[in-house]
Homo-oligomer: A and B are copies of this chain.
Protein backbone atom coordinates (compact mmCIF):
# COMPACT_ATOMS: atom_id res chain seq x y z
CA UNK A 1 0.00 0.00 0.00
CA UNK A 2 1.46 3.39 -0.95
CA UNK A 3 1.22 6.28 1.48
CA UNK A 4 -1.38 7.88 -0.71
CA UNK A 5 -3.52 4.75 -0.72
CA UNK A 6 -3.28 4.62 3.06
CA UNK A 7 -4.54 8.16 3.29
CA UNK A 8 -7.41 7.37 0.99
CA UNK A 9 -8.14 4.17 2.90
CA UNK A 10 -8.27 6.22 6.06
CA UNK A 11 -10.61 8.66 4.44
CA UNK A 12 -12.88 5.93 3.24
CA UNK A 13 -13.12 4.42 6.71
CA UNK A 14 -14.38 7.88 7.59
CA UNK A 15 -15.77 9.17 10.85
CA UNK A 16 -15.87 6.00 12.85
CA UNK A 17 -12.11 5.33 12.69
CA UNK A 18 -11.31 8.94 13.40
CA UNK A 19 -13.69 8.94 16.34
CA UNK A 20 -12.10 5.80 17.75
CA UNK A 21 -8.66 7.37 17.52
CA UNK A 22 -9.79 10.59 19.16
CA UNK A 23 -11.52 8.70 21.93
CA UNK A 24 -8.38 6.71 22.73
CA UNK A 25 -6.57 9.90 23.82
CA UNK A 26 -7.30 10.65 27.48
CA UNK A 27 -8.89 13.99 28.30
CA UNK A 28 -7.46 16.36 30.94
CA UNK A 29 -9.68 16.64 34.01
CA UNK A 30 -10.71 20.25 33.38
CA UNK A 31 -12.00 19.38 29.92
CA UNK A 32 -14.11 16.44 31.06
CA UNK A 33 -17.79 16.99 30.37
CA UNK A 34 -18.78 16.43 34.00
CA UNK A 35 -17.14 16.75 37.39
CA UNK A 36 -17.86 17.50 41.04
CA UNK A 37 -19.14 20.98 41.74
CA UNK A 38 -20.98 21.77 38.51
CA UNK A 39 -23.42 24.65 38.97
CA UNK A 40 -27.13 23.85 39.13
CA UNK A 41 -29.99 26.14 40.02
CA UNK A 42 -31.91 26.54 36.76
CA UNK A 43 -34.75 24.53 38.28
CA UNK A 44 -36.56 26.49 40.99
CA UNK A 45 -39.56 24.70 42.46
CA UNK A 46 -40.26 27.67 44.73
CA UNK A 47 -40.53 31.29 43.64
CA UNK A 48 -38.47 33.89 45.52
CA UNK A 49 -41.60 34.97 47.30
CA UNK A 50 -42.41 31.42 48.33
CA UNK A 51 -38.89 30.94 49.69
CA UNK A 52 -39.32 34.07 51.75
CA UNK A 53 -42.66 32.89 53.11
CA UNK A 54 -41.12 29.59 54.20
CA UNK A 55 -38.34 31.55 55.86
CA UNK A 56 -40.75 33.85 57.68
CA UNK A 57 -42.84 30.94 58.94
CA UNK A 58 -39.70 29.15 60.12
CA UNK A 59 -38.66 32.24 62.07
CA UNK A 60 -42.15 32.39 63.60
CA UNK A 61 -41.88 28.74 64.57
CA UNK A 62 -38.51 29.27 66.24
CA UNK A 63 -39.65 32.37 68.05
CA UNK A 64 -43.10 31.15 69.08
CA UNK A 65 -42.94 27.36 69.32
CA UNK A 66 -39.26 26.69 69.94
CA UNK A 67 -37.63 23.34 70.62
CA UNK A 68 -38.13 21.01 73.58
CA UNK A 69 -35.64 18.76 75.37
CA UNK A 70 -32.49 20.89 75.12
CA UNK A 71 -29.66 19.48 77.26
CA UNK A 72 -28.22 21.84 79.93
CA UNK A 73 -25.12 22.73 77.92
CA UNK A 74 -27.25 23.52 74.88
CA UNK A 75 -29.45 25.78 77.01
CA UNK A 76 -26.36 27.44 78.38
CA UNK A 77 -24.75 28.08 75.01
CA UNK A 78 -27.95 29.20 73.33
CA UNK A 79 -29.36 31.45 76.06
CA UNK A 80 -25.96 33.15 76.31
CA UNK A 81 -26.37 33.95 72.62
CA UNK A 82 -29.94 35.25 72.94
CA UNK A 83 -32.25 32.24 73.06
CA UNK A 84 -35.02 32.18 75.66
CA UNK A 85 -35.95 29.20 77.80
CA UNK A 86 -39.71 29.22 78.43
CA UNK A 87 -41.60 28.04 81.48
CA UNK A 88 -42.75 25.14 79.36
CA UNK A 89 -39.13 24.03 78.97
CA UNK A 90 -39.00 24.95 75.29
CA UNK A 91 -36.00 26.86 73.98
CA UNK A 92 -37.07 29.72 71.73
CA UNK A 93 -34.92 31.60 69.24
CA UNK A 94 -35.82 35.26 68.58
CA UNK A 95 -35.57 36.19 64.93
CA UNK A 96 -32.78 38.70 65.45
CA UNK A 97 -30.69 35.99 67.04
CA UNK A 98 -31.34 33.59 64.17
CA UNK A 99 -30.40 36.23 61.64
CA UNK A 100 -27.19 37.06 63.52
CA UNK A 101 -26.22 33.43 63.73
CA UNK A 102 -26.89 32.83 60.06
CA UNK A 103 -24.76 35.86 59.27
CA UNK A 104 -21.77 34.53 61.16
CA UNK A 105 -22.16 30.92 60.07
CA UNK A 106 -19.54 28.92 58.16
CA UNK A 107 -19.79 29.32 54.40
CA UNK A 108 -17.71 29.37 51.23
CA UNK A 109 -15.17 26.93 52.63
CA UNK A 110 -14.25 23.48 51.39
CA UNK A 111 -15.14 20.12 52.80
CA UNK A 112 -11.88 18.27 52.63
CA UNK A 113 -11.04 14.92 51.21
CA UNK A 114 -8.23 12.90 52.71
CA UNK A 115 -6.80 13.42 49.21
CA UNK A 116 -7.00 17.09 48.11
CA UNK A 117 -8.11 15.82 44.70
CA UNK A 118 -11.48 15.15 46.29
CA UNK A 119 -11.98 18.44 48.14
CA UNK A 120 -15.57 19.62 47.80
CA UNK A 121 -16.85 23.16 47.51
CA UNK A 122 -20.39 23.17 48.87
CA UNK A 123 -21.32 26.74 48.09
CA UNK A 124 -23.56 28.70 45.77
CA UNK A 125 -25.34 26.23 43.53
CA UNK A 126 -22.47 23.76 43.15
CA UNK A 127 -23.61 20.17 43.11
CA UNK A 128 -21.93 17.11 44.66
CA UNK A 129 -23.41 13.65 44.78
CA UNK A 130 -22.60 11.15 47.51
CA UNK A 131 -23.81 8.25 49.56
CA UNK A 132 -25.41 8.28 53.00
CA UNK A 133 -27.80 6.30 55.12
CA UNK A 134 -28.02 3.82 57.93
CA UNK A 135 -29.24 0.69 56.16
CA UNK A 136 -28.90 -2.33 58.39
CA UNK A 137 -29.34 -4.73 55.49
CA UNK A 138 -27.49 -5.54 52.30
CA UNK A 139 -29.36 -6.38 49.14
CA UNK A 140 -27.89 -9.60 47.79
CA UNK A 141 -29.04 -9.52 44.16
CA UNK A 142 -27.72 -12.97 43.32
CA UNK A 143 -29.75 -14.66 46.03
CA UNK A 144 -32.53 -12.04 45.92
CA UNK A 145 -32.42 -11.64 49.70
CA UNK A 146 -31.83 -8.99 52.32
CA UNK A 147 -29.14 -9.92 54.86
CA UNK A 148 -27.51 -8.14 57.78
CA UNK A 149 -24.84 -5.60 56.86
CA UNK A 150 -21.28 -6.01 58.15
CA UNK A 151 -18.23 -3.88 58.72
CA UNK A 152 -16.64 -5.54 55.69
CA UNK A 153 -19.63 -4.46 53.58
CA UNK A 154 -19.01 -0.88 54.66
CA UNK A 155 -15.32 -1.09 53.74
CA UNK A 156 -16.29 -2.65 50.40
CA UNK A 157 -18.75 0.16 49.73
CA UNK A 158 -16.06 2.73 50.54
CA UNK A 159 -13.48 1.24 48.22
CA UNK A 160 -16.01 0.96 45.41
CA UNK A 161 -16.92 4.62 45.86
CA UNK A 162 -13.22 5.44 45.69
CA UNK A 163 -13.33 4.12 42.11
CA UNK A 164 -16.59 5.79 41.00
CA UNK A 165 -16.12 9.20 39.40
CA UNK A 166 -19.66 10.48 39.84
CA UNK A 167 -19.91 9.76 43.57
CA UNK A 168 -18.05 12.65 45.12
CA UNK A 169 -18.14 11.81 48.81
CA UNK A 170 -18.73 8.82 51.01
CA UNK A 171 -21.11 9.22 53.89
CA UNK A 172 -21.56 5.84 55.51
CA UNK A 173 -24.58 4.30 53.84
CA UNK A 174 -25.03 1.40 56.24
CA UNK A 175 -24.89 0.46 59.89
CA UNK A 176 -22.99 -2.77 60.38
CA UNK A 177 -24.74 -5.37 62.53
CA UNK A 178 -21.63 -7.35 63.50
CA UNK A 179 -20.58 -4.97 66.24
CA UNK A 180 -21.18 -5.56 69.94
CA UNK A 181 -21.25 -2.11 71.48
CA UNK A 182 -21.99 1.44 70.44
CA UNK A 183 -18.31 2.19 70.85
CA UNK A 184 -17.45 -0.59 68.43
CA UNK A 185 -20.10 0.78 66.10
CA UNK A 186 -18.68 4.30 66.12
CA UNK A 187 -15.04 3.26 65.77
CA UNK A 188 -15.64 0.64 63.11
CA UNK A 189 -17.99 2.70 61.01
CA UNK A 190 -15.37 5.39 60.89
CA UNK A 191 -12.42 3.11 60.32
CA UNK A 192 -14.02 1.02 57.57
CA UNK A 193 -14.97 4.25 55.78
CA UNK A 194 -11.66 6.09 55.94
CA UNK A 195 -9.67 2.92 55.23
CA UNK A 196 -11.69 2.44 52.04
CA UNK A 197 -11.69 5.89 50.49
CA UNK A 198 -9.77 9.15 50.39
CA UNK A 199 -12.91 11.05 49.41
CA UNK A 200 -14.64 13.14 52.07
CA UNK A 201 -16.26 10.83 54.62
CA UNK A 202 -19.42 11.37 56.62
CA UNK A 203 -20.14 9.32 59.72
CA UNK A 204 -22.64 9.35 62.51
CA UNK A 205 -21.53 8.81 66.10
CA UNK A 206 -23.88 7.60 68.77
CA UNK A 207 -22.49 8.84 72.08
CA UNK A 208 -20.46 11.83 73.20
CA UNK A 209 -18.31 9.56 75.35
CA UNK A 210 -17.05 7.75 72.25
CA UNK A 211 -15.70 10.92 70.72
CA UNK A 212 -12.23 10.90 72.35
CA UNK A 213 -11.49 7.56 70.67
CA UNK A 214 -12.96 8.84 67.42
CA UNK A 215 -10.61 11.81 67.50
CA UNK A 216 -7.69 9.61 68.56
CA UNK A 217 -8.27 7.58 65.39
CA UNK A 218 -8.64 10.66 63.20
CA UNK A 219 -5.53 12.35 64.57
CA UNK A 220 -3.51 9.17 64.06
CA UNK A 221 -4.64 8.80 60.46
CA UNK A 222 -4.19 12.51 59.70
CA UNK A 223 -0.71 12.58 61.23
CA UNK A 224 -1.52 14.57 64.36
CA UNK A 225 -4.21 16.86 65.70
CA UNK A 226 -2.94 19.93 63.88
CA UNK A 227 -3.00 18.11 60.56
CA UNK A 228 -6.54 16.91 61.29
CA UNK A 229 -7.74 20.39 62.24
CA UNK A 230 -6.10 21.84 59.16
CA UNK A 231 -7.98 19.54 56.81
CA UNK A 232 -10.81 17.73 58.60
CA UNK A 233 -11.76 15.05 56.11
CA UNK A 234 -14.60 13.51 58.09
CA UNK A 235 -17.89 15.20 58.93
CA UNK A 236 -20.47 14.15 61.46
CA UNK A 237 -23.95 13.42 60.23
CA UNK A 238 -25.78 14.66 63.28
CA UNK A 239 -29.47 14.06 64.00
CA UNK A 240 -29.49 16.74 66.70
CA UNK A 241 -33.23 17.10 66.41
CA UNK A 242 -36.12 14.68 66.81
CA UNK A 243 -38.87 16.21 64.70
CA UNK A 244 -41.11 17.91 65.40
CA UNK A 245 -39.05 20.47 67.30
CA UNK A 246 -37.27 18.48 69.98
CA UNK A 247 -33.55 18.22 70.61
CA UNK A 248 -31.96 14.76 70.67
CA UNK A 249 -29.89 14.41 73.83
CA UNK A 250 -27.13 12.01 72.73
CA UNK A 251 -26.71 13.60 69.32
CA UNK A 252 -26.36 17.03 70.94
CA UNK A 253 -23.50 15.72 73.10
CA UNK A 254 -21.81 14.40 69.96
CA UNK A 255 -22.43 17.72 68.22
CA UNK A 256 -20.69 19.67 70.96
CA UNK A 257 -17.70 17.30 70.86
CA UNK A 258 -17.50 17.70 67.09
CA UNK A 259 -17.55 21.49 67.23
CA UNK A 260 -14.80 21.43 69.86
CA UNK A 261 -12.81 18.85 67.90
CA UNK A 262 -12.94 20.68 64.59
CA UNK A 263 -15.23 18.21 62.83
CA UNK A 264 -17.80 19.66 60.41
CA UNK A 265 -21.35 18.85 61.42
CA UNK A 266 -24.17 17.99 59.07
CA UNK A 267 -27.14 19.45 60.96
CA UNK A 268 -29.66 16.87 60.03
CA UNK A 269 -33.42 17.32 60.45
CA UNK A 270 -35.09 14.20 59.11
CA UNK A 271 -38.78 14.65 59.79
CA UNK A 272 -41.18 12.53 57.81
CA UNK A 273 -44.02 14.47 56.18
CA UNK A 274 -47.31 13.15 57.49
CA UNK A 275 -45.73 11.50 60.53
CA UNK A 276 -43.10 13.64 62.28
CA UNK A 277 -43.44 16.61 59.93
CA UNK A 278 -46.49 18.36 58.47
CA UNK A 279 -48.09 16.45 55.58
CA UNK A 280 -48.26 19.57 53.41
CA UNK A 281 -44.98 19.76 51.52
CA UNK A 282 -44.51 23.47 52.25
CA UNK A 283 -44.94 22.72 55.94
CA UNK A 284 -42.40 19.92 55.85
CA UNK A 285 -39.84 22.23 54.26
CA UNK A 286 -40.71 24.95 56.77
CA UNK A 287 -40.31 22.67 59.78
CA UNK A 288 -36.99 21.31 58.53
CA UNK A 289 -35.81 24.86 57.91
CA UNK A 290 -36.80 25.93 61.42
CA UNK A 291 -35.10 22.94 63.00
CA UNK A 292 -31.87 23.32 61.08
CA UNK A 293 -31.81 27.04 61.80
CA UNK A 294 -31.99 26.08 65.48
CA UNK A 295 -28.97 23.87 64.83
CA UNK A 296 -27.15 26.75 63.14
CA UNK A 297 -27.84 28.86 66.24
CA UNK A 298 -26.61 26.08 68.50
CA UNK A 299 -23.35 25.44 66.60
CA UNK A 300 -22.55 29.12 66.23
CA UNK A 301 -23.39 29.74 69.88
CA UNK A 302 -20.75 27.17 70.76
CA UNK A 303 -18.22 28.54 68.31
CA UNK A 304 -18.97 31.21 65.74
CA UNK A 305 -18.14 30.00 62.25
CA UNK A 306 -17.80 26.34 63.20
CA UNK A 307 -18.30 24.23 60.06
CA UNK A 308 -21.89 23.08 59.68
CA UNK A 309 -24.01 21.96 56.76
CA UNK A 310 -27.64 23.03 56.43
CA UNK A 311 -29.11 19.54 56.43
CA UNK A 312 -32.83 19.88 55.80
CA UNK A 313 -33.80 16.29 55.01
CA UNK A 314 -37.59 16.10 55.11
CA UNK A 315 -38.75 12.62 54.20
CA UNK A 316 -42.16 11.50 52.95
CA UNK A 317 -44.77 9.12 54.31
CA UNK A 318 -46.97 6.97 52.17
CA UNK A 319 -50.03 8.37 53.91
CA UNK A 320 -52.01 5.17 53.34
CA UNK A 321 -49.71 3.28 55.68
CA UNK A 322 -47.55 5.85 57.43
CA UNK A 323 -44.46 4.08 56.08
CA UNK A 324 -41.66 6.10 54.57
CA UNK A 325 -41.58 6.53 50.80
CA UNK A 326 -38.17 7.80 49.77
CA UNK A 327 -38.84 7.07 46.11
CA UNK A 328 -41.90 9.30 45.73
CA UNK A 329 -42.31 12.40 43.63
CA UNK A 330 -43.23 14.27 46.80
CA UNK A 331 -39.74 13.42 48.11
CA UNK A 332 -38.08 14.74 44.98
CA UNK A 333 -39.91 18.05 45.40
CA UNK A 334 -39.03 18.36 49.08
CA UNK A 335 -35.30 17.92 48.51
CA UNK A 336 -35.22 20.28 45.56
CA UNK A 337 -37.06 22.93 47.57
CA UNK A 338 -34.57 22.48 50.40
CA UNK A 339 -31.75 23.33 48.00
CA UNK A 340 -33.39 26.70 47.54
CA UNK A 341 -33.69 27.31 51.27
CA UNK A 342 -29.95 26.74 51.76
CA UNK A 343 -29.26 29.06 48.83
CA UNK A 344 -31.50 31.68 50.41
CA UNK A 345 -29.30 31.66 53.53
CA UNK A 346 -26.14 31.30 51.41
CA UNK A 347 -25.27 28.26 53.54
CA UNK A 348 -23.82 24.96 52.33
CA UNK A 349 -26.90 22.79 51.91
CA UNK A 350 -27.50 19.08 51.91
CA UNK A 351 -30.59 16.94 51.47
CA UNK A 352 -31.47 13.41 50.49
CA UNK A 353 -32.28 12.16 47.02
CA UNK A 354 -31.90 8.93 45.12
CA UNK A 355 -33.74 6.81 47.66
CA UNK A 356 -35.73 3.98 46.12
CA UNK A 357 -38.69 2.23 47.67
CA UNK A 358 -38.04 -0.75 45.45
CA UNK A 359 -36.31 -3.69 47.09
CA UNK A 360 -34.13 -4.51 44.09
CA UNK A 361 -32.16 -2.67 41.41
CA UNK A 362 -35.05 -2.77 38.93
CA UNK A 363 -36.96 -0.35 36.72
CA UNK A 364 -38.86 1.06 39.68
CA UNK A 365 -35.63 1.74 41.53
CA UNK A 366 -34.21 3.36 38.42
CA UNK A 367 -36.98 5.88 38.00
CA UNK A 368 -37.37 6.56 41.70
CA UNK A 369 -33.69 7.34 42.13
CA UNK A 370 -33.35 9.29 38.91
CA UNK A 371 -36.25 11.66 39.41
CA UNK A 372 -35.10 12.91 42.79
CA UNK A 373 -31.39 12.95 41.93
CA UNK A 374 -31.76 14.94 38.74
CA UNK A 375 -34.14 17.40 40.39
CA UNK A 376 -31.74 17.87 43.32
CA UNK A 377 -28.93 18.49 40.87
CA UNK A 378 -30.89 20.88 38.68
CA UNK A 379 -31.97 22.76 41.82
CA UNK A 380 -28.29 23.24 42.71
CA UNK A 381 -28.26 21.22 45.93
CA UNK A 382 -24.68 21.36 47.22
CA UNK A 383 -24.60 17.94 48.86
CA UNK A 384 -26.93 15.29 47.51
CA UNK A 385 -26.89 12.58 50.15
CA UNK A 386 -28.25 9.03 49.70
CA UNK A 387 -27.84 9.45 45.97
CA UNK A 388 -26.51 5.96 45.22
CA UNK A 389 -27.09 2.39 46.35
CA UNK A 390 -30.18 2.77 48.55
CA UNK A 391 -33.27 0.55 48.47
CA UNK A 392 -36.41 -0.17 50.48
CA UNK A 393 -36.68 3.45 51.67
CA UNK A 394 -33.18 3.37 53.16
CA UNK A 395 -33.47 -0.04 54.81
CA UNK A 396 -31.29 -1.81 52.25
CA UNK A 397 -27.99 -1.00 50.57
CA UNK A 398 -26.82 -2.64 47.36
CA UNK A 399 -23.31 -2.64 45.91
CA UNK A 400 -24.55 -3.41 42.41
CA UNK A 401 -26.81 -0.37 42.61
CA UNK A 402 -23.86 1.71 43.72
CA UNK A 403 -22.11 0.87 40.45
CA UNK A 404 -25.20 1.34 38.29
CA UNK A 405 -26.19 4.54 40.06
CA UNK A 406 -22.78 5.96 39.25
CA UNK A 407 -23.84 5.89 35.60
CA UNK A 408 -27.18 7.45 36.48
CA UNK A 409 -25.41 10.24 38.39
CA UNK A 410 -23.21 10.82 35.36
CA UNK A 411 -26.33 11.55 33.35
CA UNK A 412 -27.70 13.75 36.12
CA UNK A 413 -24.45 15.70 36.14
CA UNK A 414 -24.63 16.08 32.37
CA UNK A 415 -28.05 17.58 32.83
CA UNK A 416 -26.79 19.88 35.59
CA UNK A 417 -24.07 21.12 33.25
CA UNK A 418 -26.77 22.20 30.83
CA UNK A 419 -26.51 23.65 27.35
CA UNK A 420 -23.85 26.18 26.42
CA UNK A 421 -25.04 28.73 23.89
CA UNK A 422 -22.16 30.40 22.07
CA UNK A 423 -21.51 31.53 18.52
CA UNK A 424 -19.67 28.25 18.04
CA UNK A 425 -22.20 25.97 19.67
CA UNK A 426 -25.08 27.53 17.75
CA UNK A 427 -23.37 25.92 14.75
CA UNK A 428 -24.69 28.18 12.01
CA UNK A 429 -21.41 28.04 10.07
CA UNK A 430 -21.08 24.29 10.51
CA UNK A 431 -24.63 23.91 9.28
CA UNK A 432 -23.90 26.09 6.25
CA UNK A 433 -20.87 23.98 5.34
CA UNK A 434 -22.66 20.69 5.82
CA UNK A 435 -25.77 21.74 3.91
CA UNK A 436 -24.32 23.73 1.05
CA UNK A 437 -20.77 22.42 0.61
CA UNK A 438 -20.38 19.25 2.55
CA UNK A 439 -21.59 15.71 2.77
CA UNK A 440 -25.08 16.54 4.05
CA UNK A 441 -24.39 15.11 7.50
CA UNK A 442 -22.26 15.93 10.54
CA UNK A 443 -20.58 12.55 10.99
CA UNK A 444 -16.83 12.95 11.00
CA UNK A 445 -17.04 16.74 10.94
CA UNK A 446 -14.22 18.27 12.97
CA UNK A 447 -16.71 19.81 15.42
CA UNK A 448 -18.20 16.38 16.03
CA UNK A 449 -14.83 14.87 16.88
CA UNK A 450 -13.99 17.77 19.16
CA UNK A 451 -17.23 17.54 21.13
CA UNK A 452 -17.24 13.75 21.37
CA UNK A 453 -15.31 13.74 24.61
CA UNK A 454 -15.80 17.25 25.87
CA UNK A 455 -19.58 17.46 25.64
CA UNK A 456 -20.89 13.91 25.77
CA UNK A 457 -21.04 11.53 28.72
CA UNK A 458 -20.86 7.76 28.27
CA UNK A 459 -22.06 5.15 30.75
CA UNK A 460 -19.61 2.65 32.19
CA UNK A 461 -22.02 -0.23 32.68
CA UNK A 462 -25.09 1.02 30.86
CA UNK A 463 -25.76 -0.83 27.63
CA UNK A 464 -26.24 1.14 24.43
CA UNK A 465 -25.96 -1.71 21.96
CA UNK A 466 -28.57 -2.35 19.28
CA UNK A 467 -30.92 -5.30 19.82
CA UNK A 468 -28.83 -7.24 17.28
CA UNK A 469 -25.54 -6.57 19.06
CA UNK A 470 -27.22 -7.26 22.37
CA UNK A 471 -28.25 -10.72 21.22
CA UNK A 472 -24.74 -11.34 19.87
CA UNK A 473 -23.31 -10.41 23.27
CA UNK A 474 -25.54 -12.98 24.94
CA UNK A 475 -28.34 -10.62 26.00
CA UNK A 476 -26.47 -9.23 29.02
CA UNK A 477 -28.43 -8.29 32.13
CA UNK A 478 -27.27 -4.98 33.56
CA UNK A 479 -27.41 -6.18 37.18
CA UNK A 480 -25.40 -9.31 36.33
CA UNK A 481 -22.87 -7.08 34.62
CA UNK A 482 -22.69 -4.99 37.78
CA UNK A 483 -22.15 -8.07 39.92
CA UNK A 484 -19.24 -9.15 37.76
CA UNK A 485 -17.67 -5.68 37.87
CA UNK A 486 -18.19 -5.48 41.63
CA UNK A 487 -16.45 -8.79 42.21
CA UNK A 488 -13.54 -7.91 39.99
CA UNK A 489 -13.03 -4.54 41.65
CA UNK A 490 -13.36 -5.84 45.19
CA UNK A 491 -10.90 -8.63 44.45
CA UNK A 492 -8.30 -6.32 42.99
CA UNK A 493 -8.54 -2.88 44.60
CA UNK A 494 -7.21 -2.37 48.13
CA UNK A 495 -6.36 1.24 48.90
CA UNK A 496 -3.22 1.70 50.99
CA UNK A 497 -3.59 5.22 52.34
CA UNK A 498 -3.86 3.73 55.84
CA UNK A 499 -0.62 1.80 55.99
CA UNK A 500 -0.33 -1.74 57.26
CA UNK A 501 1.86 -0.45 60.13
CA UNK A 502 -0.61 2.22 61.20
CA UNK A 503 -3.44 -0.28 60.96
CA UNK A 504 -1.54 -2.63 63.31
CA UNK A 505 -0.78 0.17 65.72
CA UNK A 506 -4.43 1.34 65.81
CA UNK A 507 -5.63 -2.18 66.56
CA UNK A 508 -3.51 -2.09 69.73
CA UNK A 509 -5.71 0.54 71.32
CA UNK A 510 -8.99 0.61 69.36
CA UNK A 511 -11.59 -2.15 68.95
CA UNK A 512 -11.18 -2.47 65.18
CA UNK A 513 -13.17 -5.41 63.83
CA UNK A 514 -12.49 -5.19 60.10
CA UNK A 515 -10.28 -8.22 59.36
CA UNK A 516 -6.83 -7.37 58.01
CA UNK A 517 -7.40 -10.09 55.47
CA UNK A 518 -10.51 -8.27 54.29
CA UNK A 519 -8.27 -5.25 53.65
CA UNK A 520 -5.88 -7.36 51.58
CA UNK A 521 -3.28 -7.33 54.39
CA UNK A 522 -1.27 -10.41 55.52
Contact = CB atoms under 8 A, between A and B. Distances in A.
Interface string A46-67: 1000100110010011001100
Interface stretch (A103-111, A303-311, A400-408): A400-408
A155 B301 CA distance: 67
A327 B452 CA distance: 17
A281 interface: yes
A488 interface: no
A61 B434 CA distance: 12
A470 interface: yes
Contacts of A295: none
Interface residues of A, number: 132
A491 interface: no
B328 A457 contact: yes
A323 B60 CA distance: 56
Given A395-B467, A415-B333, A442-B275, A65 B280 contact: no
Contacts of A244: 431, 434-435, 440-442
B428 A286 contact: yes
A280 B418 contact: no
Contacts of A146: 467, 471
Interface stretch (A5-13, A258-266, A361-369): A361-369
Given A330-B457, A475-B359, A427 B322 contact: no
A434 B46 CA distance: 26
B337 A275 contact: no
A319 interface: yes
Interface stretch (A37-45, A190-198, A211-219, A506-514): A37-45
B414 A329 contact: yes
Contacts of A420: 280-282
A452 B275 contact: no
A464 B45 contact: no
Interface stretch (A76-84, A226-234, A443-451, A495-503): A443-451
A285 B130 CA distance: 32
A520 B427 CA distance: 54
Nearest to A448: B279
A87 interface: no
B280 A427 contact: yes
A248 interface: no
Contact of A365 (B42, B333, B363, B375): B363
B318 A464 contact: yes
Contacts of A344: none
B431 A278 contact: yes
A424 interface: yes
Contact of A282 (B363, B368, B427): B427
A20 B319 CA distance: 9
Most B C-beta atoms less than 10 A away, residue of A424, A442, A478: A442
Given A274-B443, A281-B455, A457-B329, A408 B479 contact: no
A456 B280 contact: no
A358 B476 CA distance: 10
Given A88-B436, A282-B419, A363-B479, A322 B426 contact: no
A425 B457 contact: no
Contacts of A371: 370-371, 374, 408, 411-412, 415
Contacts of A455: 279-281, 330
Interface of A: 15-16, 19-20, 23, 42-46, 50, 53-54, 57, 60-61, 64-65, 68, 88, 90, 137, 144, 146, 244-246, 273-287, 316, 318-323, 325, 327-330, 332-334, 337, 357-371, 374-375, 378, 392-393, 395-396, 401, 404, 407-408, 410-415, 418-422, 424-428, 430-432, 434-436, 440-443, 445, 447-448, 451-452, 455-459, 462-467, 470-471, 475, 477-479
Given A65-B432, A329-B413, A395-B467, 18 more contacts: A16-B322, A19-B319, A20-B320, A50-B419, A274-B456, A275-B443, A279-B451, A279-B455, A280-B420, A282-B421, A283-B425, A332-B374, A333-B419, A337-B419, A358-B463, A363-B363, A368-B411, A371-B408
5 contacts: A280-B427, A319-B456, A332-B411, A358-B463, A358-B478
